[in-house]
Structure 1
Amino acid sequence: MWFRHPRVSHSFRNPYFPTKTMSTPTYQTIDTSALAKRAESDRIAPSLYYDPELFEAELERIFYKTWIWVAHDSELPKPGDFVTTTIGRQPVIVVRDKTGAVNVLQNRCRHRGATVCEEHKGNAKGFTCPYHSWSYALDGTLRALPYGDGYEGVCEKGDLPLKKLRVGVYQGLIFASFNQTIEPLEDFLGGAKPWIDLFMKQGAGYPIKANGEHKFKFKGNWKIQLENTTDLYHFPVVHKSWMKSIDEETAAAITSFMTSDQAFCRSLGNGHSLAVLMPEIVDLDNDDGAPIPERFQELAAQLAEKRTPEEVRRIVRSLMGVGFNLNLFPNLALSMAFFRVLRPISAEETEIRHVALAMEGGPEEANRVRLRIHEHFQGPFGFGSPDDAEAWERVQRGSYAGPDVPILVNRGLNRETTAPNGEKTAHSTDETGMREAYKQWRAMMEQA
């Protein structure tokens, strides 16, 4: 049987903390021929959600091999600005150096392994290990170590910088990879690039900036959340409470994708996918002339005191972001008006960050409205995130029932079309995006 039954306990040991008696980690010898059966084109094995050995292999073959989103350019406006984050289990520092370049450094002293920075964000002239005071420059260079006579003829400072990851930036999105020979970021993003360009237009002529975040964990596998971003099928079911809390005009506009022939889901290659739910605001440069919604009339009047009618309409039309969700494999979603970032913690636990967006230098009253909209759905006391997290955790718990019964991702196969460039398109509620993600998952996991 190709499905692995859940186990209450197991003897697997963490490959990153080996002992003398530890044998070769089992994830290194996973039967790659069996992976195809565990993640077929239209169904997956429930064990993909809870197999700890498979999870270790995912860290090694996906998160430590491909491009991972780590920060937004707006979080590092000045030299010395930094944020810390984690790729898989590995802590890293994202920092802008004195030349203006962005570096992503392993947050680990080269001496005895202590982290050299524990702050989530800030500004620094360098990083100093609190254990033995080895100090490093913003580019990772080892600047000094105390009592250096103990190292004369033993090692050279130039040989012991903080390890650097490869860095790529597209439209202010900063990605990093442990894989120094990985393909260029723009090649990896491929068909997603035009949609990233459209997403960034929600600045209404102003640059986009990160405007705070909400972080939480749920008891479930990271792939459950990965599936969710382009899953519009769940929206009118899971988010009934949110729709009851807003005006009828907004609710009708957002759920129109259920019957619209202009809404769609599409695979974009390399695991990336797209779900269009409000076609009228996909490209915010194209004004359809629709009246300003009643709920934004007061704001529009305030903005009109200092701005042209065209500027007012552009700002107001961008308040809810763009009319689509874009999934960038494996850890970032550009979801209408915010970033959703996932971090796998274990096979059965995932951390989620919801990053609010604002217009850098834009009108504060409009940014305030954007933030209130974000809080209403994505915030810790919002209506959307708790309902999503509950659904994700129920999927995780349910996956243990019937380990030989597959999880289906086959919706829309009967109406999916394929373009000459290989992109597949189906109805907005179909599972084309999930199939694309698992296609990339399988390709990366089957690599030795």
Structure 2
Amino acid sequence: MTTPYVIDDRDKSLFQVHREVFTSGEVFEKERELIFADAWLYVGHESELPGKNDFRTRDVGGRSVIFNRDRHGDIRVLLNTCLHRGASVCRHPRGNQKIFTCFYHGWAYRNSGELVNVPAGDDYRTAPAETYGGLHSPRIESYRGFWFLNFSDDAPDLRTWLGTSSYLLDLAVDQSEDGIEILEGTHSYTLNANWKLLIENSVDGYHAKSVHHTYFEMMMELGQTPPMLGDGTVNGVPPAGIGTEFGNGHATLIYPGNGLPLANDNVARSLAELREKAIANHGDSYASAVFDLARNSIFFPNFVLIDLNFGMILRTIMPLGPDRTQVTSWQIAPRGLDQESLQYRIDNALTFWGPAGLATPDDVEALEQAQRGFSTRREVPLSDISKGMGKQQPAANDELQMRAWWRQWNYVITGERLPAEVAEFIPFEAREQQEAGA
């Protein structure tokens, strides 16, 4: 292919992506080799492992892993493959176990990874433990309870990789003095579309009013102002909020929150109490950023945090093939919520993001329609992601946040580094301090 994967024309304020990247098996293999073998990938949250020897198994970066606490309480990530012949050493999605034993030939490993038993081990002239050591563990690091792994020894540390985008995680965690927790239950599904389409969609404010019009109409009929509608409109499409980038492909759209739709007084009071505690601990400006704004954020390559007052979700997006994607989603909540407030959040999450909700089925249909449309890629080879390009401050319903992600994708895949489009984001409370000083 002679046309670049990504066309970034600043003179024309034109940004295009070649549709071959959504259909090509060659590009898919490059992504597995260059992106998922060398990036910080989200594994899980510490609240999922409350006790010693607790474990969860899941697929991360195309590998089966065990996310666990060992017998000392330390968090580990172990590759879920026996050193003998490759079978899984743990076949359960969750549990509490000190020893993982491969059912195929019985090799056994401590939950810290060491090989501790080989049936008929005397038949080996060199002890397998001396030859193989134990289960392989990739690099793991955490930020405020979020655990990530990296299969490369050469990648920068997690804090450097996150850079200023860690602010987005702070805003979620600081909704309670005690942080956040993962709620029970996992929403897992597949779609017949390329994984990058859902990355775009997760921070796409432009599609909300057309694709999710049923939700918007329902909220308006109930006397509520849906997120991103704001106070005014321009040609029927409200420019509420901003889109911004944080470097390394991390980006977000930030828009006015709409409080707690359909919440009763008890739920509203509970949130107000959290807000007052945040003001006492962090100041009014930071508390306003935490509670008065909503955020859809992507952390390159495939970790998504959607942070709303009435519900927060984490999402990982894994490619299974050029046109097949695995999505795993968890709901999170501030620790210490009363049961009524917790149930309110769960109901909202199911209503909007759930399997039969007002958002997820619509999004899946839109992305699968796009994937079908790529069958015409020879005749219509380019997708446009130019909306808002050239603005000093793009709005939340512009496409800066997708362009920021695509520039990092392009750099990893081709080595071509394209410059950032806008100045690095400054937290709102820091802006106020700068303005006060000026």
TM-score range, shorter chain: 0.7 to 0.9
1:362 aligns with 2:342: no
* Counterparts of 1:293 and 1:435, CA distance in 2: 31
What amino acid is the match of 2:48? E
Whether the 8 Å CA contact 1:319–1:366 is kept in 2: the answer is no
Partner of residue 2, structure 1: 2
Partner of residue 379, structure 1: 354
Partner of residue 295, structure 1: 262
Whether the 8 Å CA contact 1:214–1:355 is kept in 2: the answer is yes
* Counterparts of 1:312 and 1:446, CA distance in 2: 45
**1:379 CA displacement:** 0.7
**1:432 CA displacement:** 0.9
Go from structure 1 to structure 2 and tell me whether the alpha carbon gap of 1:320 and 1:372 turns closer, same or farther (over 3 Å shift).
farther
* Counterparts of 2:400 and 2:129, CA distance in 1: 53
1:323 aligns with 2:294: yes
1:414 aligns with 2:390: yes
1:62 aligns with 2:29: no
Whether the 8 Å CA contact 2:71–2:98 is kept in 1: the answer is no
In structure 1, list runs of 5 or more residues that go unmatched.
4-36, 282-291, 418-424
In structure 2, list runs of 5 or more residues that go unmatched.
9-14, 279-287, 417-438
Q: 1:271 aligns with which of 233, 249, 267?
A: 249
The DSSP-based 3-state class of the residue aligned with 2:200 is helix
* Counterparts of 1:395 and 1:438, CA distance in 2: 18
The DSSP-based 3-state class of the residue aligned with 2:20 is helix
The DSSP-based 3-state class of the residue aligned with 2:66 is strand
Query: Displaced runs of 4+ in structure 1, greater than 6 A?
Result: 312-315, 317-321
Q: Could you give the per-residue CA deviations for residues 389-410 of structure 1, whole angstroms, max 9, x where no partner exists?
A: 1111111111121335201111
Q: 1:228 aligns with which of 197, 201, 205?
A: 201
The DSSP-based 3-state class of the residue aligned with 1:233 is coil
Q: What are the residue-to-residue correspondences of 1:96-111 with 2, within 5 Å?
A: 96-111=69-84
Go from structure 1 to structure 2 and tell me whether the alpha carbon gap of 1:71 and 1:352 turns closer, same or farther (over 3 Å shift).
same
CA RMSD of aligned residues (A): 2.7
The DSSP-based 3-state class of the residue aligned with 2:207 is helix
How many residue pairs match? The answer is 390
* Counterparts of 1:325 and 1:103, CA distance in 2: 29
* Counterparts of 1:99 and 1:378, CA distance in 2: 37
Partner of residue 38, structure 1: 5
* Counterparts of 2:289 and 2:404, CA distance in 1: 29
Partner of residue 413, structure 2: 445
Partner of residue 188, structure 1: 161
* Counterparts of 1:47 and 1:439, CA distance in 2: 16
Q: Could you give the per-residue CA deviations for residues 145-168 of structure 1, whole angstroms, max 9, x where no partner exists?
A: 111111123644463311111001
The DSSP-based 3-state class of the residue aligned with 1:413 is coil
Partner of residue 116, structure 2: 143
* Counterparts of 1:148 and 1:217, CA distance in 2: 43
Whether the 8 Å CA contact 1:320–1:373 is kept in 2: the answer is no
Q: Could you give the per-residue CA deviations for residues 301-330 of structure 1, whole angstroms, max 9, x where no partner exists?
A: 8x68xx9x7458779x99999511111111
Whether the 8 Å CA contact 2:251–2:299 is kept in 1: the answer is yes
The farther-off stretch of 232-241 and 86-95 is 86-95
* Counterparts of 1:381 and 1:319, CA distance in 2: 29
What amino acid is the match of 2:182? A
* Counterparts of 1:148 and 1:86, CA distance in 2: 31
Q: 1:250 aligns with which of 196, 213, 224?
A: 224
